[in-house]
Amino acid sequence: MNKIVHNIVLACVALLTFQSYSQPTPVNQNPNITADNLVEEIAKQVSHYNYEPIYEVYFEFGYCYIELYINDILAYKNYGEGGGSSSFTINPYLLNFSNQTIKLRMYATEEFGEFLNNSAVKLGIGSYDNQNEFAIEKRQSNLFIYQTPEDENGFFKYAGKEYFEQTVTFTLPEVPYKIEGWKDSQDLRNFDKKLLEQKVLQAYQMIQKSFKERDLDGIAQFSFNGMKDQAIAQYFDEEEVQEGWEELISIAGADNLEFFPLENYELVFYGEGRLVGLKSKKKDKGFRGSSALLCKFKREGKWVGAELDYLLHIPKGKTEFEIY
């Protein structure tokens, strides 16, 4: 699954009222959106600018597993390699904040069971212009730099431990677009946990049902808000929006589509308590740290897995749950 599609899939939206249901509830969101007009309606919302910065986090890590959060939203996880380097776009996580945050969570690897002296994470933030990725004069590097703490000998300060977490703030020179996302949603951390778990579970059941029955209009309706914000944040043209939508269609229409059972999960909060979801508690490869909404299907004769990371919230001024 490519980066664009991955971001779109991870930011789809569904709706539940604050009532009790025994069966998966029907989608009741964006009723004017259909499978036929979704792409066009999203493309209408995208604005273009003289300068369209794409911000990226680039990083390397060693002798540890890591999770990286942007504004308290999980953006990257790696529990299998114990080291490496990569990068990812952070535009979809940038809300209208004067200060943005990166949170690092480090875990000891299974091989060693604790951090070593040379366990480390280094990261930075850079940018390029979406209209001309290779324009050197518009590229910016080292807008922000971070490295895990070291002792006086240059070793990882928390060697011998099994877990380390740190949150740091950063600012960016220009974010021309505005997406509200979850910024002003209600803080759900004080809500009844059993009720929250029930609502998320019912939403996930409804989402599974929509994909299994290939209800494309329903999928379009509960995917619209997330896809719209993804498109706005990355200045997508209609073709790029279409690409993401076709990936969702391909999952819904896939041969032998199977969802893993909704079990062995835990309730988790993101976005400073404004988003809630269910995360798998399994430690197996492919499950650890993943949404409880996992499926597999056959593509060109081979089994492929997909994670649909739906999260509920209650937007400002509303009394109903939506998912972002």
Burial class of residue 21 (count of CB atoms within 10 Å of its CB; 0-12, 13-18, 19+): middle
How many domains, in total, are found in the chain?
A: 2
Q: What is the CA radius of gyration of the chain?
A: 20
Q: In this predicted structure, what is the pLDDT of residue 4? A: 47
Residues 202-239 have pLDDT tens digits of 999 999 999 999 999 999 999 998 999 999 999 999 99
Helix (H, G, I), strand (E, B) or coil at 237: coil
Q: In this predicted structure, what is the pLDDT of residue 214? A: 96
Is residue 11 pLDDT above 70, yes or no?
no
Using 50, 70 and 90 to split pLDDT, how confident is the model at 137?
A: confident
Do 197 and 316 lie in a common domain?
Answer: yes
Do 186 and 299 lie in a common domain?
Answer: yes
Is residue 3 pLDDT above 70, yes or no?
no
Q: In this predicted structure, what is the pLDDT of residue 198? A: 94
What does 252-303 look like in DSSP terms, one character per residue? Answer: HT-EEEEEPPS-SEEEEEETTTTEEEEEE---STTTTT-BS-EEEEEETTEE
Tell me the backbone φ, ψ of residue 76, rounded to 5 degrees: -155, 140
Is residue 285 pLDDT above 50, yes or no?
yes
Is residue 151 pLDDT above 90, yes or no?
yes
Do 155 and 277 lie in a common domain?
Answer: no
Do 215 and 280 lie in a common domain?
Answer: yes
Helix (H, G, I), strand (E, B) or coil at 29: coil
Q: Which of the two residues, 282 and 103, has the higher pLDDT score?
A: 103
Cβ within 8 Å of residue 281, ≥6 positions away: 264, 265, 266
What does 68-122 look like in DSSP terms, one character per residue? Answer: EEETTEEEEEE-SSSEEEEEEE-GGG--S-SSEEEEEEEE--TTTSS--TT-EEE
Helix (H, G, I), strand (E, B) or coil at 241: helix
The domain boundary, picked from 117, 149, 170, lies at 170
Q: Which two tokens mark 143?
A: 């807008």
Q: In this predicted structure, what is the pLDDT of residue 286? A: 81
Give the domain range for residue 305: 3-47+181-323
Q: For residues 246 and 252, give the distance between their C-alpha atoms in angstroms, rounded to a whole number.
A: 10
Burial class of residue 155 (count of CB atoms within 10 Å of its CB; 0-12, 13-18, 19+): middle
The domain boundary, picked from 122, 148, 170, lies at 170
- The DSSP code for 24 is P
